[in-house]
Amino acid sequence: MENILTNFTFHTTTVEEATVSLKSDVEKGLTPIQVKERIEQFGLNTINEEKPISPFQILFSQFKSPIVLLLLFAAGMSFWFKEWLDGTAIVCVIFINAAIGFYMEFKAQVSMLALKKMAAVPAKVLREGKLTEINAEEIVQGDIVFVDAGDLIPIDGKIVRSTQVLIDESALTGESVSVEKKMGVLPENTILGDRTNMVFKGTYVFKGNAYILVCATGMQTELGKIASLVHLSDQAATPLEKKLEVFSKKLIKITVGLVVLIFVAGLLNGQKFMEMLETSIALAVAAIPEGLPIVVTMSLAQGMLKLARYNVIVKKLSAVETLGGTNVICTDKTGTLTQNKMGVVLIKTPSVNWQKDADFEGNEEQVKLITQGFILCNTANLEIANNETKEIGDPLEIALLKFAQLQGGDITAIRTQFNKKDEIPFSSETKIMATLHEHEGSYITFAKGALEELLPKCTHILENDTVPMDKSKQDYWIKEAEVFAASGHRMIAIAYRKDKTETTLSTDSLVFIGLIGMIDPPRPEVKAAIEECKMAGIKVVMITGDHPTTAQYIGVQLGITEAGEAVMIGKEMKHFEDLTKEEKKKWLNTDVFARVNPQHKLDLVKVFQEKGYVVGMTGDGVNDAPAIKKADIGIAMGQRGTQVAQEVSDMILKDDSFKSIVVAIRQGRVIIENIKKFVTFLLSCNLSELLVIAVAAVMNLHFQMLPLQILFINIITDVLPALALGITKGGDNVMKLKPLKASVPIIDKNRWKLIFFYAIIMASVCTAGVLINHYLYHKNDVWDTALCNNILFFSLILCQLLHVFNMGTGTFFKSEVMRNKYVWYSILVNIIIVFAALQIPFVRKALNIVPMNLNEWVVILAVGLSFMVTVQLAKVLKLFKSNK
């Protein structure tokens, strides 16, 4: 095993010293053997990676719950009183309970791990001389990492090569101004924030790019050291889980109170102490919904996995809930609403008037400059490998390259002849990009960008000759752009400047060449998705950097806005703090915002949130990060998005499509709806058992449920049907309802009423069944306690199994629950278990099952049916508001 330094003060050394000490190679990076050894020695590059709890630990934890202690106590008492059968049966129940708890927790954990893997951040490293993309977790000390604008820094390292790299270290140092980093040696006592030759994990590249020698990974990084102090936990309980935990605790108190009441009533009515104790314990075990939070976690995690299959990576469990309540989506245009597959379709200069498929001709100088400008003022590339052209870079720039190539422009030759000296990268703030090139001793600057931004920088225009620009010419070109934009063209302008002597890159005193129009068609699936949003009460707002007229055209095509509706332009938008009430109102009523920059996006989120909206906001660039972070649901693009945007987001769209947002919202709603379904189901079933037993105990009836029967029902109905309900596909009206308000509890007043209604009806029909059977068939006999008990037992089972179908919305036979095959499977399995129980002598005896004749089975069937009819009738009569 190699011995490499871990406590080296890398900022004080030269790159060579550091490279030698880390046994690395700046040009080639590490070898696979070195990487393997270092992973073994130092582990993966992860922060605070608490080891996943082992399956054994999960299993063990099942036996630590108070419920198990209660059951153990009951089993102990049974053995003490030599009730061997009861004791053994209760021990069986403990194991079955533990197995179910284990299964659910294990599954939730597996889902969470799978989700974590999906959100893995990639990194580019030099390995054996080649730049390869790996999972950032696999970076080791000594690796050479390449980072570009928008990338997260995945390690602590020393700069070995950089081009004007600016790092935002605010996450680590709190300093909001980006710091320029370069090679160098610094004194030992230089504080972290001043170590300009080092970069640190958790920060990100604001501009430029750099090669970095990795000095520390994972917990050895500065971020790792902080994390070990504060013990960061990345998956806190979601608000829903917290709400349910509080809710469960309340329920436990109420249940314990009721159980004590039943216990005392039973004793006062002369029941045996031991029997009452066992009944009370069984009741407590059955009625306490201690497993609720984990079922919810499982349900949320499963929902997230399902979304991953639809190209949506949801990074936090809590986001699934927020999705359900989202009522405004602010979306980018290019790439999210449109295909981002661009093609140049028109070029207009003073002499060229080219439209697609025509010959590209006109003033020779203009034609030449256009081709050169397209190739030079461009960061994209077309690489030919294995007879295939690989397109690398921004689609708009690829379109320009393709056009230039089609006109005979040789990309490599032109880029070699015109050596690039400097570049001002395109940014959504300036909306301009410029490059400076040297060619045979003279210099040429090319600039391209939004016309409104570029035109004021042009002092001249290239007609037959270079002539000064004037107001009428400016107006003419603005009008021209407007006309093309009105038919959906994405417009850019291009300009140049020649300098005979060496110069620095600037966008002053440019010569205007002309306008270029591109078509970026809308994604075909988006129109329907927007329609769905409208039905679901979700407002869709387009925020784009593009021309207002282009934006409006696309907006109208997709149904976001209507022709003639006003578009708000970035320049008209004040900062949030300066906005008047009227202006905010105007913002809230606008559907399309054009020529905006990222600051406007942040302000828009604030305006919506102030009005109580739950905002989803899309973004891709470094500068979009604040708005994404501020939004309730920050949505980053998987293909176009920078790592920073993805890091701060709650959700990543792998296919960049708007449709996926709507799919996620739908799924969010379905999950919340399902959680409501199974909570309602479980609570109403538990409550019905409590009521039946309480009534029998308090009224001293001739029959009572037995402890093992209660536990049996609990296992039968609580587990499989509830789990099946948790994965029901949404009802037809999921996207027809208004978004859920976050302040409304899962179980609101109306739902409580409903739960009580279900429980009372179920308890009443079951009790009535026993009484009817007795008075119908055994009028003159003494009470057959065992038979009465059996009728009660089977009636409750039947009612509870049928009750699953009451959880559906819409008409009974067409409800989503009916269509859920897992519900049917769960019921089938339960019926098999009941029949098996009837056949196995040990279980029969433990459950005190006695033979019953056909009449008695008919009574049970009638009980089940009357329960269903009553509930369905109440639904038809719309007796309860949250009867959805």
Residues that bind ligand ATP (CB under 6 A): 332-334, 394, 396-397, 426, 428, 431, 433, 448-450, 490-492, 544-547
Beta carbons of 15 and 213 less than 8 angstroms apart? yes
Closest separation between CB of residue 595 and ligand ATP, Å? 7
How far apart are alpha carbons 145 and 222 in whole angstroms? 18
Length of the chain: 884
> For the range 92-101, what are the long-range contacts, defined as Cβ-Cβ under 8 Å and sequence gap of 24 or more?
93/708, 93/711, 93/715, 94/63, 94/68, 96/715, 97/62, 97/67, 97/68, 97/71, 97/715, 98/59, 98/62, 98/63, 98/68, 100/291, 100/715, 100/719, 101/62, 101/65, 101/291, 101/294
Closest separation between CB of residue 674 and ligand ATP, Å? 35
Closest separation between CB of residue 164 and ligand ATP, Å? 19
Closest separation between CB of residue 117 and ligand ATP, Å? 29
How far apart are alpha carbons 664 and 635 in whole angstroms? 11
How far apart are alpha carbons 456 and 622 in whole angstroms? 27
Which lies closer to ligand ATP via its Cβ, residue 334 or residue 372? 334
Closest separation between CB of residue 431 and ligand ATP, Å? 4
Which lies closer to ligand ATP via its Cβ, residue 25 or residue 620? 620
Closest separation between CB of residue 638 and ligand ATP, Å? 15
User: Which of 432, 460, 436 has the alpha carbon at shortest distance from 448?
Assistant: 432
Closest separation between CB of residue 193 and ligand ATP, Å? 32
Which lies closer to ligand ATP via its Cβ, residue 595 or residue 606? 595
| Residue tagged active-site, from 332, 546, 632, 718 | 332
- Phi/psi for 331 (5° steps) reads -125, 145
Q: Which residue has the tokens 């029941």?
A: 271
| 3-state SS assignment for residue 216 | strand
- 559: phi > 0 → left, psi -120 to 50 → alpha, else beta; which? left
Catalytic residue check, 465: no
> Closest CB to ligand ATP belongs to which residue?
545
Which lies closer to ligand ATP via its Cβ, residue 321 or residue 332? 332
User: Facing residues of 495 across strands?
Assistant: 447, 512
Closest separation between CB of residue 33 and ligand ATP, Å? 42
Which lies closer to ligand ATP via its Cβ, residue 449 or residue 726? 449
CA 41 to chain centroid, in Å, comes to 34
Beta carbons of 460 and 498 less than 8 angstroms apart? no
Which lies closer to ligand ATP via its Cβ, residue 433 or residue 614? 433
- Phi/psi for 643 (5° steps) reads -65, -35
Task: State the Cα angle at 465 between 463 and 467, rounded to 5°.
Answer: 75
Which lies closer to ligand ATP via its Cβ, residue 70 or residue 617? 617
Which lies closer to ligand ATP via its Cβ, residue 280 or residue 338? 338
Q: Which one-letter amino acid corresponds to residue 703?
A: F
CA 610 to chain centroid, in Å, comes to 23
Q: Which residue has the tokens 């889902």?
A: 111
**Measured torsion, CA atoms of residues 329, 333, 335, 336, in degrees rounded to the nearest 10:** 20
Hey, which residues are catalytic here?
A: 332
